[in-house]
Structure 1
């Protein structure tokens, strides 16, 4: 039907744009690895976030596009569960890295007299460990769920087991969302205070454009609001009635699709502000 074709075109467009954007972001930082002697800690987070988003789009967006267009693809139960496993791992790592990015940026731009001052030196040393831990935890926990589900697939699965699993995923996403909102709010507050302190400098060296703090604040707001609205609406529609399933799937792919473009724009603004503060 025309409705199925329209949904298929939306899935196809969203998946194509998202994959191209994330591969561009990943290529950008891989290129920097060979041309820049020293990279920032956030660059490592960006690379792993792009990889996780690619997994979501490839193993969720592509199958949904095939189904929406009414095309048939033949996969057995094991391959179906493997697709679901990769989707969940990619989604979990994407949310975890976004949360890690927000918290790390909050720590690094916090004032020297704040309660986070002791973490400013320690935080960069644990970025690689935190990213690895995020991957390992999601892979191991979801692998255990996959093995248990395959073992129970030939038997009757109590509905409360599936509800408990979905509730666990939801609570984890809510926790990460709360941390992202807190970190984003803290960054905006810090940037606002910094803008007030250097307001005399801005007036003395007036420029036609907005201040670095304003640009960084807008970037943080756009990234945080995109993440929270995407995953919140997706979770709400997922628990709603069946005909909203396609809307839920489309919304769940919004953040992996849009985030690389937001990160590339946010990165230039925030890194420029960090450079000014370092000097």
Structure 2
């Protein structure tokens, strides 16, 4: 057990540091583009919002885990513990929602220029800020149950029937807690599934575009090295990373809800997986900023 926690100490600390630095660096790059005076593309604002959501999620989710694993002393009163735990849940949902929003926007942007899609494309840039605001409102309302039904972790023992959420805990036995956790699983899974669907659609559109280009011109590039094929692989990499980490984390959450056993091992695995995507997301986005994606107006 000692070795288990020693490994977790290193993993969580590296995860938080790398994730925050990576997201902050990419925010700086995008902000530099905005500050040059050029016309700002809506996708840049969405990506900045996503990266900011990743940072605050890493802070609110990662810091409590570091305090727990490293057994650090902290002074948080009853009210503050419930507020911090509430913000932790909100920022997780915000990260999921922002990733889904970016994926949907990209799917609309690269869709065929039919009359229906052309009208939708014209409206989308005006909806960027309202959609980001809606993400905040929905997640702030969704997790309001945490401060209402959560109890301070200092008032609970290390019972396997109590689910630690940041600086507070949820009792797994009341029916209200069960309903909330099941609904939260459905809520998070909706964003994960929608991101997977839109990413698959983007890959399909790029694949069709590549097929048309190969049919009308002869090029020395092979199919596997074409810009469209490279972008398709990167889209699928980002989507698969997002789906695997978040859906697997949600599976552990629903397992603990149904069995009413909050195993420390399962809790640590679920928390680690939920932090993986915000950590690797900026590096995947940075690698995806190729010549073709810029010309195709994805990034």
Shared fold, TM over 0.5: yes
Q: What is aligned with 1:138?
A: 139
Q: What is aligned with 1:38?
A: 39
Report if the CA contact (8 A) 2:231-2:293 is conserved: no
Q: Does 1:215 align with 2:230?
A: yes
Structure 2 runs not aligned, ≥5 long: 156-169
Report if the CA contact (8 A) 1:212-1:273 is conserved: no
Report if the CA contact (8 A) 1:202-1:211 is conserved: no
Task: Please list every run of at least 4 consecutive aligned residues from structure 1 whose deviation after the TM superposition is greater than 6 angstroms.
Answer: none
Q: Which has the higher helix share?
A: 1
Report if the CA contact (8 A) 1:55-1:86 is conserved: no
Give CA deviations for 1:82-111 in whole Å, capped at 9, x if unaligned: 221111111111111111111111111111
| Alignment map for 1:101-140 (pairs within 5 Å) | 101-113=102-114, 116-140=117-141
Report if the CA contact (8 A) 2:189-2:250 is conserved: no
| Alignment map for 1:6-155 (pairs within 5 Å) | 6-113=7-114, 116-142=117-143, 144-146=144-146, 148-149=148-149
Aligned partner of residue 203 in structure 1, secondary structure: coil
Distance 1:177 1:150, change over 3 A: closer
Report if the CA contact (8 A) 2:86-2:147 is conserved: no
Q: What is aligned with 1:3?
A: 4
Aligned partner of residue 194 in structure 2, secondary structure: helix
Report if the CA contact (8 A) 2:85-2:147 is conserved: no
Normalised TM-score (structure 1):
0.89
Q: What is aligned with 1:247?
A: 269
Report the Cα distance in structure 2 between the residues aligned to 1:85 and 1:126, rounded to whole angstroms: 27
Report the Cα distance in structure 2 between the residues aligned to 1:59 and 1:168, rounded to whole angstroms: 22
**Matched pairs, number:** 274
Give CA deviations for 1:62-121 in whole Å, capped at 9, x if unaligned: 221121122232322222212211111111111111111111111111112375343111
Note the C-alpha offset of 1:173: 1.1
Q: What is aligned with 1:181?
A: 196
Normalised TM-score (structure 2):
0.83
Give CA deviations for 1:15-63 in whole Å, capped at 9, x if unaligned: 1100101111111122222114212111111111111111111111122
Note the C-alpha offset of 1:188: 1.0
Report the Cα distance in structure 1 between the residues aligned to 2:200 and 2:223, rounded to whole angstroms: 27
Q: What is aligned with 2:245?
A: 230
Distance 1:183 1:270, change over 3 A: farther
Aligned partner of residue 82 in structure 1, secondary structure: helix
Report if the CA contact (8 A) 1:216-1:273 is conserved: no
Structure 1 runs not aligned, ≥5 long: none
What is the root-mean-square deviation in Å for CA atoms of aligned residues?
2.7
| Selected match of 1:165 from 180, 183, 188 | 180
Report if the CA contact (8 A) 1:22-1:260 is conserved: yes
Report the Cα distance in structure 1 between the residues aligned to 2:142 and 2:4, rounded to whole angstroms: 38
